[in-house]
Amino acid sequence: MKLVQPWQAYLNKFQATNLKEKIEDAWKDYLKGVPKGQRPEKTLFEIRNRLARELYEVESAAVKQEVEEHRQSMRGSKEVSNIAEKNMHYQQ
């Protein structure tokens, strides 16, 4: 099984804790710019992934090392397969 991208491991590790509120806020901010009654062009999935990539890039070396260790531990785990399946579903 291929390793996930570093930002994906970051999201996997911190989504329910450190990133939860930031993701919710980014989504709310995005929706403020969508005219009432109009369907958003972007999905929460897209906003969440963009934010995770941006936040990962500016993280400290210590956090990036922690994420890399988590990323390596994800290799071959059922969790990685589930993430890939969920992502495929969201993209459709």
Instruction: Report the number of distinct structural domains present in the chain.
Output: 1
- Establish if 64 belongs to a structural domain: yes
Cα gap 21→48, rounded to integer Å: 11
Confidence of residue 90 (pLDDT cuts 50, 70, 90): low
**Residues contacting 80, CB < 8 A, separation 6+:** 1, 4, 74
pLDDT per position as a tens digit, 23-54: 999 999 999 999 999 999 999 999 999 999 99
Cα gap 46→53, rounded to integer Å: 11
- Establish if 1 belongs to a structural domain: no
Q: Are 30 and 47 in contact (CB under 8 A)?
A: yes
For residue 65, what are the domain limits?
6-91
What does the DSSP 8-state code read for residue 37?
T
Nearest to 19 by CA among 48, 39, 59: 48
In this predicted structure, which of 9-18, 42-51, 69-78, 82-91 has the lowest mean pLDDT? 82-91
Cα gap 77→9, rounded to integer Å: 13
Q: What percent of the chain has pLDDT over 90?
A: 76
Record the pTM: 0.77
- Establish if 83 belongs to a structural domain: yes
What does the DSSP 8-state code read for residue 75?
T
